[in-house]
Chains A and B, each alone.
Chain A
Amino acid sequence: DVKVTQSSRYLVKRTGEKVFLECVQDMDHENMFWYRQDPGLGLRLIYFSYDVKMKEKGDIPEGYSVSREKKERFSLILESASTNQTSMYLCASLDPSAISGSDGNTEAFFGQGTRLTVV
């Protein structure tokens, strides 16, 4: 089974702190994603990466940065945490080579989520 692991299930940080959220996947997937999930707003894409050292902004990148130094690890960084970044953060990965294959239905695999509270 694909496993996507996020380093923490719950985090409490202070305003202004630098926060690192780590995500590791064990299936050699090229593509990895960071989402945040808020009531009434659904999952919103923050950043994604389709290769080592490659990154692209999603829909809400402001206040965040990412790092992809190794294929299996995709880190989300809050340079200076703010209370409006209190949220559930979800990491996902997928194998893009299967999208255009005969099956073509590769789904995204999600980590268990990190509930971050900024106080």
Chain B
Amino acid sequence: GQNIDQPTEMTATEGAIVQINCTYQTSGFNGLFWYQQHAGEAPTFLSYNVLDGLEEKGRFSSFLSRSKGYSYLLLKELQMKDSASYLCAVRDNTNAGKSTFGDGTTLTVKP
């Protein structure tokens, strides 16, 4: 099975940079996903890593180290609308493409 750990809460200031970490233990790995979820809404896809290294997409970047079972999501130039829960998810290597989700990190951006 999979085990995912990420911090429960984080607070940052508008315009700053914040890094949300995720560690995982897995019995099969076929990619790590980050989703954003605003309160009362569905999760939406942010990023995907399957190889080691950094993937950059605008203000958001995601990093993966498979040997360390570690990923982070980096958010730059924080905006108030970035206040949300950020979910780390690991996909297994079966054809079903099941993902195991972390509990989510609630990010609060303050003025």
> Which A residues are closer than 8 A to B by beta carbons?
4, 31, 33, 35, 40-45, 48, 50, 56, 58, 90, 94, 96, 99, 104-113
A85–B16 Cα gap in the complex (Å)? 40
- Would you list 16 pairs from A and B whose C-beta atoms are within 8 A, ordered by A residue? A42-B104, A43-B87, A50-B96, A58-B98, A96-B97, A99-B91, A104-B50, A106-B97, A107-B33, A107-B35, A108-B99, A109-B45, A110-B42, A110-B44, A112-B42, A113-B41
Residue B43 CB within 8 A of the other chain: yes
Let me know if B31 and A105 touch, CB within 8 A.
yes
Let me know if A43 and B101 touch, CB within 8 A.
yes
Residue B103 CB within 8 A of the other chain: yes
Instruction: State the Cβ distance, A61 to closest chain B Cβ, in Å.
Output: 13
* CB closest residue in chain A, given B1: A59
| Chain B positions 9 through 38: 1 when the CB is less than 8 Å from some CB of chain A, otherwise 0 | 000000000000000000000110101000
Let me know if A107 and B48 touch, CB within 8 A.
yes
Which residues of B54-105 are within 8 A (CB) of A? Answer: 87, 89, 91, 95-104
Instruction: State the Cβ distance, B3 to closest chain A Cβ, in Å.
Output: 11
Let me know if B98 and A33 touch, CB within 8 A.
yes
Chain A residues lying within 8 Å of B103, measured Cβ to Cβ, are 40-42
Instruction: State the Cβ distance, B17 to closest chain A Cβ, in Å.
Output: 24
Instruction: State the Cβ distance, A73 to closest chain B Cβ, in Å.
Output: 18
State whether A42 and B96 are in contact (beta carbons under 8 Å apart), knowing that A90-B42, A105-B48, A107-B33 are contacts in the complex.
no
